[in-house]
Amino acid sequence: MLYKLKENKLESIAFEDFGSIGRKEKELESIFAQNLEMIYGEYGILFPIFQERQWRGEPDLCALDKEGNLIIFELKRSDVPEGTTNQIMRYAEIYGQKSYDDLNFIYKNYISKKDGQVNMELVDAHREAFALEEPLKLEYFNHKQKMIIIGSSMDHKLAKTVDYWKSKGISIDFIPYRLFEVQGEYYLEYFAKPYDYVLNVGNVRGILFDTNLTYDTNAIWDMFKGNKISAYDERSRCVGYFNKNDYVFYYHKGYGVVAAGRICDNKPHTNKGEAYRKVEFLTPKPECEKDLRGVAPNELFRLLGKGFYYASTVKRPYLDKEESERLVDRLKEKYQSI
């Protein structure tokens, strides 16, 4: 619940669902599809491979975890009629029988419509997303399935139905959400399991930021020269994830983290489709590729004890201040040899 603190009293704030404010289920689906990397808990970091096409009898979202298990999502904007659990189980039965080749075909269609081009096979994209040393064996893809229903926390009947099937050994779960209106703006709260642990956005954090090598080989040098991080078009929203004084770590494909700095402005700036933040560098800025030194994904794991989801501009999870300082120190050691 969300409470308003008024003197020494707590006043609960009423919550709503997507349906009550006139929003469509497809909008809820798109919000979660675009922010799937923010869903943690017992599901781990997820790699989306499919989003429902309109007027088709398909799951709303499908994703893979690091082990290749298929996660099937069904999203509901309001209280739903009976049969939602039967619906997602039917999807699990159909999609649970799909081979690697089937998933590869589904993934390529999804990426071509989303990005306009397909750069690699599913097995390679999965390896890159999770920074695996070796690609996952094809027979491990879709070895197991997990069903997740995301719906309004007001839908108690749906929650009880899901709990019933879980008690019978079915791999299904319910993630409730709440929508709050505060002074004319809407705030979405969802409940990650097994507990809702995230870094306080008000605290100093460390964030890995992709240099976009795949699409623009000059982007990293433009950012270094301009003392900034930047992104364009739909990815420009990512620069808004930072607060002043946050650590930023430049992640360069093939090298790992190659530089670090601190955000030194209060909000993003824009210029002809570019959004950017000014950065004060804490490590040397290489002037050419031969001078790059990096902390590779496997070394990051040994240093920090955590893995990251690499298939997005902003890599998750975030680092706390102590982890950030540890990574800065490691980078400085790397550049002492130059």
| The most confident of 80-84, 145-149, 233-237, 260-264, by mean pLDDT | 260-264
Least confident of 10-24, 206-220, 315-329: 10-24
- Residue pair 73/35 in contact by the 8 Å Cβ criterion: no
* Residue 114, CA distances (Å) to 49, 88, 195 in order: 11, 24, 32
CA torsion sign for 206, 295, 331, 301 is positive
CA torsion sign for 114, 69, 96, 90 is negative
Instruction: Name the more confident of 42 and 262.
Output: 262
Instruction: Note the pLDDT of residue 197.
Output: 46
- What value does the mean pLDDT take over residues 225-247? 93
Instruction: Note the pLDDT of residue 260.
Output: 98
Q: pLDDT grade, residue 52 (50/70/90)?
A: confident
Q: Tell me, what amino acid is at 301? A: F
- What value does the mean pLDDT take over residues 242-251? 96
Buried b (16+ CB within 10 A) or exposed e, 57-82: ebbbbbbbbbebbbbbbbbbbbebee
| The most confident of 27-36, 69-78, 217-226, by mean pLDDT | 217-226
DSSP string, 120-144: S-HHHHHHHHHT-SSPPPGGGTTSS
Least confident of 23-27, 139-143, 196-200, 334-338: 196-200
DSSP string, 51-86: EPPTTSS--SEEEE-TT--EEEEEE-SS---TTHHH
- Please give the sequence-ordered ranges of beta strands (E in DSSP) within the chain, or none if there are none: 3-6, 9-12, 15-16, 47-51, 61-64, 70-75, 145-152, 172-182, 185-190, 206-210, 228-232, 247-252, 256-263, 269-271, 274-281, 314-319
Instruction: Note the pLDDT of residue 19.
Output: 67
Instruction: Note the pLDDT of residue 25.
Output: 63
Instruction: Note the pLDDT of residue 8.
Output: 74
pLDDT over 80 (residue 245): yes
β pairing state of 172-182 and 185-190: antiparallel
pLDDT over 90 (residue 39): no
Convert the pLDDT of each residue in 87-132 to its tens digit. 899 999 999 999 999 999 999 999 888 777 777 899 999 999 888 9
Instruction: Note the pLDDT of residue 224.
Output: 98
Instruction: Note the pLDDT of residue 195.
Output: 44
Q: Is 322 helix (H, G, I), strand (E, B) or coil?
A: helix
* Residue 323, CA distances (Å) to 53, 166, 211, 260, 319 in order: 41, 37, 21, 13, 6
Q: pLDDT grade, residue 177 (50/70/90)?
A: confident
Mean confidence (pLDDT) of the chain? 86
- What value does the mean pLDDT take over residues 282-292? 95
* Coarse DSSP helix, strand, coil percentages of the chain, rounded to the nearest 5 percent: 35, 30, 40
β pairing state of 61-64 and 247-252: unpaired
Distance CA 61, CA 336 (A): 46
Instruction: Note the pLDDT of residue 41.
Output: 46
- Its pTM surpasses 0.95: no
Domains and CATH numbers, the chain: 3-190 (3.40.91), 206-335 (3.10.590.10)
Q: Which residue has the tokens 């902390």?
A: 295
Q: Which residue has the tokens 């890995």?
A: 208
